Structure 1
């Protein structure tokens, strides 16, 4: 029984900072079939093999463990996950240290969202099979999703000590180093990891012919999280790492291209390659790479400054050496900045490597804490309301329409939903519910027109806008690009009011893909 890395890629909302890499998927392959109905054929072959295994397992056999594992994997492949889970539990009761059983069970638990349980299972695999690199890689993948970079790094490095050419370990270590700001070393690991491994196909669990979709990504992060957007019961998704793809090989079969490369500041090289790849095909493309290339933070502040009802923050790239020097504060003053200012390392999201510098005396210390030879200096837009709380709205722009996604309210200047005061404050949740229920009434005509204007300038099929409102109802623009996450809340009654808005946004993506492919 072949072992494999779990199918989770690093292009999903489980890792909200979304550092990219294609974790190659290797499931039990369906038995090939022939005939006109190729969509149904693989599923029929899987079900036929499953019936065959049921008969074989009634006989005494020496290969019973391999057959039981194959059966459990097939149950998962045809979307009978609970049955697959019970099957793996039964196997591990009899063979608690079997590597393939532990490895495949960990992959299933990961697919089901039981991340803590998957980590425990992979830890057991490592304990009993320390010389197998796959256990280290699978555990490291999950640690990286949880932003536990040092723990993930340790396991990726352990895997590479066992197998110096392990492609997936190089991909993962590259992602860790990119997140830590060690981008030169990250590029070398990406080169080793994606060389001849720039394409991977995710499992498809539907029972009808899938829609073949090509997803373009960047190796170094800055990708749109798409696991909630691309249903594996409907789409068979092939991931192509643009900046490591040999274009002479030709594109894999596809009916639509979803360009998931979203960060223009971080992924310019990948977007340039993606633009050339898109030019080779006549299929519909969601988020034209050329349009994404125009959405860097600095360019956005200039392009969107002229949109009525929008206030953008002055943004400028400044060399670290200058900011850290004795004349750093004077250099900022000469460029029109006054304290407090924001400092940000390009290419990071969710508030990572992002600081508020309240006064000139704090500048050197703030610069020292941020990675990168060049930092973004950003004008501080005061997003605090009359109650003293800072607010950040998020609206998605999908196929030209606006969809409210969330409102985060916090006492801190750095407002992110997962660190805000929403869970503890029912009044904040009530305010958010009103926004989700009737966005135009809450934001007002001026802001709604401004958001529509932002969408028109961006020219993206899928994007998001993070903003606040000033006292005059204008949009204080924090960020707008394609990398915005649509994430479902935890299964908690407090968040019941959020589900309808999130489902509307997800349905809009599905409808957009259906419309484009039908056309």
Structure 2
């Protein structure tokens, strides 16, 4: 083990991309190692680190991604008296900092790829070192850089074996519990020792040709790998990366007194199926994946995919299963891969497994509450987004609003059981995107305290978001001239049952209440368990089929238009200016865009196209005063509203919410008019951020 007090150096190192973590060993590292390697010295070999740079840059992306979290880099020395050393780096107090690799420039000064591979293979036959030749590169690529590439792949295998229960950790000394890679070629004997599971190589003796013939009947890839479980894993990892991921050769010729024996490990052979399956899961072959989203999802510790691309895939009815499987494999392979957990939670929601999705999301936030989505167009503004746990309708759809913009999103999840972080990401503007619900009310109150006096501009104060419950919004908008928002009350189940039994008491709790009533459970969205109840008997029947504890009740307003259709507008207010996000028409009173038949009806789309084209001059003009007063009372720079018009021309408000889905995913061929309308919203939203920044 390497004991080092230079925590800042190692922290800086691991912030670099894995392929850039290399260089001459610093003085403190050489000093730390001299106790066990007295002859250690600084490297002097010309051009050696440049070859290390070339070697690292050529490693498969999945290998570099897998090294990202714990590998501290490759550092060049001389006098190590071995080609390479990979070991743990600990503080003097025993805190684990990572795993570092040392390369001896003296030992490796004159190597070539084929020469190094031949020497490595011959090491398994010390009595006959000249009887094995290995070709791993063609003549033009038989360089020192490619030799170092193989060295680094083997050392990477050792580093990545640590702590993952593939094999016993090299510092542990004995097997403890179960391992995934070990039983493929090894077993634990009665004395607790680790011995080969197959004695075929022992029977072959020291004859290289006989050994390579015998190895075809085992699960080892090479005789060198059969020396120990650590060598076995490192050899398998390196050759998987070299042959499968990189399409490079590995051909052995072993000699004896008779004809030579040729050997090349075939990864598709049944004998290697167990190792191949494990390694494919651990380091996926993303280069051959034709689906770019699956490739991005499979790459270990890859950047966050995010809600918008995944929802767009589901919206376009592209199979989500390959993405889900890739993300699940990543999460299972490394329980610190928070991006995999969060993307997997999104995928589970999109495939209908909400309860499991919420558990996975909570685990992602426990691992790491902060996630970054870089700007697509070159960063010009950094937005700190305060998010809460919940489904796809629990937060402002910030990714859709800024999907192709120059804004980097720093998404910070806050929870009721965690304190406000001591350090938050650098940002120009903060926006609270957490939506209102009963579970979030205490958190919104705490958030108001946490960010009071915040030194950066804040968009959408949590105290104003807290007003947006259905009954809260109703109270806030009460009495606005030209606005109809039926009074809404929340009632416990027993009280609703009492109303069903004694309907004459309805006006005691709902002064304007008459049947039909609109009833829904608290916290429901998108029409889930929403119903129009025409009679007290219908209310009793509703309670029998909906097991919720509490409900919202309000009076039903018939808003059918002269054309016989119910029309619902989704309007967003950006700095008080109204924009139309969609207009859906339906024969049914409960209008949701996805089930209103918009895609099937050219006539309905024509109505929406006209509504969008004429919105400023018609709807927005008719309700200008009402919308301005709604904006003043709600007090949010960005908010959405589902609404309609009554036959007598009033603005009928169904819901006010900062987390309504607003997107531009619709097919342009079918909805050619929508993209320009959505672009207006996105432009206004980006302008709002810039205005906030300049006002600070």
| TM beyond 0.5 | yes
Cross-structure match for 1:470 = 646
Q: 2 CA distance for matches of 1:198 and 1:131?
A: 17
Q: Which has the higher contact order (CA 8 A, sep 6+)?
A: 1
Cross-structure match for 2:396 = 224
**Which stretch shows the higher mean deviation, 95-104 or 361-370?**
95-104
Consecutive unaligned residues in structure 1, runs of 5 or more: 1-25, 34-48, 68-89, 157-170, 176-189
1:286 matched to 2:459? The reply is yes
Q: Which protein has the larger Cα radius of gyration, Structure 1 or Structure 2?
A: 2
Cross-structure match for 2:384 = 214
Cross-structure match for 1:99 = 281
Q: 1 CA distance for matches of 2:547 and 2:18?
A: 43
1:496 matched to 2:679? The reply is no
After superposition, give the CA deviation of every residue in 1:409-435 in whole Å (9 maximum; x if it has no partner). 011211111111211111211111111
Cross-structure match for 2:433 = 260
Displacement, 1:194?
4.6
Q: Is contact 2:578–2:620 with CA below 8 Å preserved after alignment?
A: no
Displacement, 1:297?
1.4
Query: Cα gap change, 1:330/1:448 in structure 2, threshold over 3 Å: closer, same or farther?
Result: same
Q: 1 CA distance for matches of 2:342 and 2:371?
A: 17
Displacement, 1:390?
0.9
After superposition, give the CA deviation of every residue in 1:429-455 in whole Å (9 maximum; x if it has no partner). 111111111114332744232222211
TM-score between the two structures when normalised by the length of structure 1: 0.71
1:408 matched to 2:584? The reply is yes
Cross-structure match for 1:5 = none
Cross-structure match for 2:447 = 274
* Match of residue 450, structure 1, among 605, 626, 636: 626
Cross-structure match for 2:272 = none
1:199 matched to 2:401? The reply is no
* Match of residue 172, structure 1, among 342, 358, 367: 358
Aligned length: 426
1:119 matched to 2:303? The reply is no
Q: Is contact 2:383–2:407 with CA below 8 Å preserved after alignment?
A: no
RMSD: 4.0
Query: Cα gap change, 1:331/1:204 in structure 2, threshold over 3 Å: closer, same or farther?
Result: same
Displacement, 1:310?
0.4
TM-score between the two structures when normalised by the length of structure 2: 0.54
Displacement, 1:137?
5.2
Query: 1:28-107 to 2 correspondence within 5 Å?
Result: 53-55=56-58, 59=146, 61-62=149-150, 91=245, 97=277, 98-102=280-284, 106=294
Q: 2 CA distance for matches of 1:399 and 1:365?
A: 44
Q: 1 CA distance for matches of 2:575 and 2:457?
A: 13
Query: 1:316-465 to 2 correspondence within 5 Å?
Result: 316-325=489-498, 327=501, 329-335=503-509, 336=511, 337-370=513-546, 372-443=548-619, 445-465=621-641
Q: 2 CA distance for matches of 1:270 and 1:457?
A: 22
Cross-structure match for 1:36 = none
Cross-structure match for 1:46 = none
Q: 2 CA distance for matches of 1:225 and 1:194?
A: 18
Query: Cα gap change, 1:340/1:91 in structure 2, threshold over 3 Å: closer, same or farther?
Result: farther
Q: Which has the higher helix share?
A: 1
Displacement, 1:342?
1.0
